[in-house]
Every structure is written in C-alpha cells, then in structure tokens.
C-alpha cells in the first residue's frame, strides 16, 4: 500500500509563476485572503479585450487568464440566456426537484462523444469534477464486488485540481507539499509523456509510448492488478507541463494495458476539453480512437460566464452505478439550472458558428507565425500545441530570478498582451513556458497581433539581460 518511488524526471514540474515584482504591494493588507493588490484592476472587458482602471487596453491571449473564456467577454446571446433562465427558475435542489436543463445538456454532450459517453452530471469547478471522478471509480469497483480495488495511478508531473483528493492524484510538489500528510497514500505516479525531452536518441514516438506503457504495466504489477482501480491522465497536458500533446501511439498503448488489468481510464479534460484543442472532447483530437470510461470537463464549458464543470461516463460505468441504485455524489449546486442553460448556449454557439474549425485554423496559424517570428531567438526552444492551446517554451537554463517566463509575462502585459507564464524547478533543471489559449472567436488579425506582441516582449526581455 505504499506509494512507489517517483520515477526520475529530467524536467521540472511547472506551476504558475509568481508575479515578477512584489515591491508595489501596499503595506496595508487586502480584505481578500488571496490579496490582489499587486494585480492590475480590470474596469471592463469585451470580446478579447480587457480595459484596465488605468485606461490601458490588453489583448487576451489566454481566455481570461486560465483558458476559460472561450467566447470572450460580453457575448449578448449568452448573457440573455443567463437572464432568461434566471427569470424562469434560478435554482432547484437536484435531490428534491428535477429539471430538463441538466438532462438536455448531458444528452447534447453525449451525442457528440462518438458513443464514448452516455451520461453526465454538472458540478461547479474542475476540482469538484475530479473529486467526483475519484469517488465514482471507487463506487464502480464496490458495485462490481471488488472493494479491494483502491489504488490510483496518475502521472508525474500532473495537475488535477486543488481539493485534497485532486491534489493527491496530481503531483506538482509546490502545490501539494504542505498538504502531503493529509493526502491519500494509495496514489502512484508514472512518467507523463514528454517525447522531445525524455526520449532516447533514435527512439520513435511509438517506441517511446510503448516504453511508457510498460512503465505503467510494471507499476500495476508491483501494486497488484487486483488493487488498482483507475489510471488518470489529461489528453493534452495543460498547466503541469505548459501544453504537451501526447506522442503517437500513447493512448492506444496505455488503454491496452488498462484493459489487460481491468483498470478504468479517467480523462481529465478540465483544461483541454470543451473545444480548446479543436474537437468538443480533447481525446477525440489526440487519443487515436481511445475512449475514456470517465471524463471531467470544466473551464470552456461555461465560457467563464458560469462556474460549471461536468463528470461524464461511458456505458460500462453508467450500467454498474445504475444497477447499484444511486450515484453517491451530491452538492447543493449540482446541476444548477443557470449554469446548465448557459453552458448549453455556449456549446450551441460553438457548434452553430463552426468555431471548432476556427480553433483548428487559428491554432495552426498561431504555431506557424510564432515559429517564424522567433526563428532567430535562440532562447525560444520549443513551440508546440493543438488547436488554440499552445506552449512557447523558453530556455530555462538562464539563471534568473524572477524567472524568464515571469519576466516575459510581465513585459507582454506592459505591451498590452495577457498570457500565462509557467515555471518550475526540479533537480536544478528549470522549465519555462508561456501558454497561449485565446477565445475560439479569435480572428486572423488578432493571432498576428498576439504573435507580434509576444515575440517583441521576448526580444525585449532577452535584450535587457
Ligand atoms: N484539472 C486540470 C487539468 C486543470 O487544468 C485544472 C485547473 N487548472 C483543474 C483540474 C482544476 O480545476 P479548478 O481550478 O476549476 O478547480
């Protein structure tokens, strides 16, 4: 029952960088626990634009800061839907009163899953959906009459949320270390795929994927296959590695191992789902036909207008849970009518306006223009991504404090561009990535402007060194 030793990793786990300067923090404490006094104040927002209290205009290249606002701010149809639903019925407790709004949204999503998913429920954050996934896989095995299945295998590095269960499944030391004594000790971590960084010379993507699948198999065998209930993975890694799509063959190889040992496959699409990588579900874009048993989504689902997440399940899990009677999960705001109605509208707009085509086309434009614009900047070491989810990796060997991603993020903001900066160190190796994830409505011109401002900001930071 003890966790396996963490596999050696040649690259850091990343966490969102600290603000580059704290000198402007006022002496008087803020009334907010997570005080925001060092952060710029937003006065208004429209489309992909924030207007600050100083009057400065900022172009949003990361959907509100965290890959959430997939339609931008100020979408009149979404706001009308919110008001209309609020007038008809703002709230009904899901244990006492049913409504068709959640039912309709679950059906709508299942219909677009190529048969992978047959049922879902709606919660309020990515972490809540991940907690529900952890509990659901447990319930599944108990209903199957196999209560000895209690262990979870996830990956290193990974981020699956900030509640205790989700922090336990994830593995970013800076986010979980102080809580370690409170975290479940039945969680084990295998290497998260980073083909370019960690493959052996001459090793193909498929060979690398097969190697990681056998690491998973070895881990299952060392715990005991009868004790493992699920494997958790993000189809495209977001915050843990600054956007990392999987290498070829990864999900088929992993899924074969899970099948061999009767282990559920849980996909965390909190960040990469809801259209971000060019399909409604992220696994449809990168998992080569592999389907999840359980899936979590959030962020883009509500487009930032509501705080909604979803847990979705395939037939196998749905059958067992229904046979057993009831899904043992309940929160006061589960299936909240306004959340569900708004998410339904956000999804319908994406489909009606064919925004997924725009996600794919603008994503390709972003990678190719960014690659071109930074060709002569050696400090840009990798540009990668899928759809409108792109990581621009900077040379982490430059021994700076504040770190280079923090500096670029700050410089970009001065230049009128909002990006995410990820940074982290393990064993003295520094990883620095700028993450881009604009709204799905982003135009060709806005992509070129994002590229221009980011390349200029990187150049200015490098020149100042
Ligand atoms: N899983 C992944 C992959 C995430 O990126 C996040 C949030 N960054 C979460 C879970 C947790 O979601 P939330 O912050 O909404 O609780």
For 407-435, give the secondary structure using H, E and C.
Answer: HHHHHHHHCCEECEEEEEEECCEEEEEEE
* Amino acid 3: pLDDT: 36
- Compute the residue count for the chain: 465
Q: Which of the four pLDDT bands, split at 50, 70 and 90, describes residue 313?
A: very high
Task: Copy the structure tokens of residue 10.
Answer: 């040649």
d(CA 236, CA 243): 7
Q: Which ligand 1 atom lies nearest to the CA of residue 163?
A: 16
* Amino acid 19: pLDDT: 52
DSSP 237: B
Return the best residue to mutate from 160, 176, 296 for the ligand 1 pocket (most ligand atoms within 8 A of CB): 160
The alpha carbon of 315 and the centre of ligand 1 are apart by a number of angstroms equal to 25
* Amino acid 1: pLDDT: 31
Q: Which residue CA neighbors atom 5 of ligand 1 most closely?
A: 271
**Residue 324 pLDDT exceeds 90:** no
d(CA 446, CA 366): 10
Q: What are the start-end ranges of the H helices in 89-169?
A: 100-111, 126-143, 164-169
Q: Can you tell me whether residue 374 is helix, strand or coil?
A: coil
> Which protein residues touch ligand 1 with a CB less than 6 Å away?
125-127, 130, 159-162, 234, 238-239, 268, 270-271, 298
The alpha carbon of 66 and the centre of ligand 1 are apart by a number of angstroms equal to 9
Question: Under a CB-based contact definition with an 8 Å cutoff, are residues 3 and 146 in contact?
Answer: no
Q: What is the CATH number of domain 77-352?
A: 3.40.640.10
Domain boundaries, the chain: 15-69+354-464, 77-352
d(CA 292, CA 298): 16
Q: Which ligand 1 atom lies nearest to the CA of residue 271?
A: 5
* Amino acid 425: pLDDT: 59
Nearest alpha carbon to residue 423 among 39, 11, 35: 11
pLDDT, mean of residues 408-437: 86
**Residue 32 pLDDT exceeds 60:** yes
Task: Copy the structure tokens of residue 235.
Answer: 């189809």
Give me the residues paired with residue 230 across strands.
152, 264
Q: What is the tens place of the pLDDT at every residue in 385-403?
A: 999 999 999 998 876 777 8
Task: Copy the structure tokens of residue 54.
Answer: 């100083």
Question: Under a CB-based contact definition with an 8 Å cutoff, are residues 138 and 229 in contact?
Answer: yes
Q: Which residue CA neighbors atom 6 of ligand 1 most closely?
A: 161
Query: What ipTM goes with this model?
Result: 0.99
The residue with greater pLDDT, 196 or 416, is 416
DSSP 22: -
The alpha carbon of 240 and the centre of ligand 1 are apart by a number of angstroms equal to 10
Q: How many CA atoms lie within 13 A of 192 on its CB side?
A: 27
Q: Which residue CA neighbors atom 15 of ligand 1 most closely?
A: 126
* Amino acid 378: pLDDT: 93
Q: Which of the four pLDDT bands, split at 50, 70 and 90, describes residue 31?
A: confident
First-to-last C-alpha distance (Å) of the chain = 49
**Residue 273 pLDDT exceeds 90:** yes
* Amino acid 27: pLDDT: 52
d(CA 6, CA 219): 11
Compute the CA torsion angle 334, 336, 337, 342 (nearest 10 deg): -120
The alpha carbon of 270 and the centre of ligand 1 are apart by a number of angstroms equal to 6
CATH class for the region spanning 15-69+354-464? alpha beta
* Amino acid 79: pLDDT: 98
Element (H, E) at 16: strand 15-16
Question: Under a CB-based contact definition with an 8 Å cutoff, are residues 252 and 289 in contact?
Answer: yes
Q: Which residue CA neighbors atom 7 of ligand 1 most closely?
A: 161
Task: Copy the structure tokens of residue 310.
Answer: 């979803």
Return the best residue to mutate from 299, 309, 437 for the ligand 1 pocket (most ligand atoms within 8 A of CB): 299
Q: Which ligand 1 atom lies nearest to the CA of residue 130?
A: 10
Cα angle 111-117-356, degrees, rounded to a multiple of 5: 55
Q: Which ligand 1 atom lies nearest to the CA of residue 239?
A: 5
Q: What is the tens place of the pLDDT at every residue in 426-449?
A: 545 568 999 999 999 999 999 999
Q: Can you tell me whether residue 45 is helix, strand or coil?
A: strand
Share of the chain above pLDDT 70, in %: 91
The alpha carbon of 365 and the centre of ligand 1 are apart by a number of angstroms equal to 27
* Amino acid 325: pLDDT: 81
Q: Which residue CA neighbors atom 2 of ligand 1 most closely?
A: 160
């Amino acid at each position: 029952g003890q966790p396996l030793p963490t596999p050696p990793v040649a690259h850091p786990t990343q966490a969102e960088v600290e603000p580059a300067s704290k000198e402007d923090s006022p002496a008087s404490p803020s009334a907010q626990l997570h005080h925001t006094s060092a952060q710029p104040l937003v006065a208004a927002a429209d489309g992909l634009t924030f207007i600050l209290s100083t009057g400065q205009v900022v172009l949003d290249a990361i959907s509100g800061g965290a890959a959430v606002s997939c339609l931008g701010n100020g979408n009149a149809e979404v706001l009308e839907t919110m008001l209309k639903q609020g007038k008809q019925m703002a709230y009904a407790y899901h244990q006492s009163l049913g409504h068709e709004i959640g039912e309709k949204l679950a059906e709508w999503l299942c219909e677009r899953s190529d048969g992978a998913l047959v049922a879902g429920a709606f919660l309020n954050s990515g972490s809540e959906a991940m907690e529900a996934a952890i509990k659901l896989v447990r319930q599944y095995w108990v209903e199957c009459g196999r209560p000895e299945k209690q262990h979870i295998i996830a990956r290193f590095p990974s981020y699956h949320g900030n509640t205790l269960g989700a922090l336990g499944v994830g593995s970013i030391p800076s986010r979980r270390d102080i809580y370690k004594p409170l975290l479940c000790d039945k969680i084990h971590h295998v290497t998260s795929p980073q083909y370019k960084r960690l493959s052996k010379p001459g090793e193909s993507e498929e060979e690398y994927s097969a190697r990681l699948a056998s690491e998973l198999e070895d881990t299952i065998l060392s715990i005991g296959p009868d004790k493992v209930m699920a494997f958790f993975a993000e189809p495209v890694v977001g915050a843990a590695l600054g956007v990392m799509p999987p290498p070829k063959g990864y999900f088929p190889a992993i899924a074969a191992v899970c099948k061999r040992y009767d282990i559920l496959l849980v996909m965390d699409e909190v960040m990469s789902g809801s259209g971000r990588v060019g399909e409604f579900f992220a696994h449809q874009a990168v998992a080569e036909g592999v389907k999840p048993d359980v899936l979590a989504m959030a962020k883009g689902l509500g487009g930032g207008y509501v705080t909604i997440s979803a847990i979705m399940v395939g037939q196998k899990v749905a059958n067992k849970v229904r046979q057993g009677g009831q899904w043992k999960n309940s929160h006061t705001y589960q299936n909240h009518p306004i959340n569900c109605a708004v998410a339904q509208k956000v999804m319908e707009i994406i489909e009606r306006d064919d925004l997924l085509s725009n996600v794919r086309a603008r994503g390709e434009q972003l990678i190719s223009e960014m690659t071109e614009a930074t060709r002569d900047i050696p400090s840009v070491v990798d540009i990668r991504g899928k759809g409108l989810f792109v990581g621009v990796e900077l040379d982490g060997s430059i021994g700076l404090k504040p770190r280079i991603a923090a500096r670029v993020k700050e410089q970009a903001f001065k230049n009128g561009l909002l990006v995410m900066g990820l940074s982290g160190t393990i064993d003295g190796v520094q990883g620095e990535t700028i993450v881009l994830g604009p709204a799905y409505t982003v135009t060709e011109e806005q992509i070129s402007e994002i590229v221009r401002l980011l390349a200029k900001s990187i150049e200015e930071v490098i020149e100042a060194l």
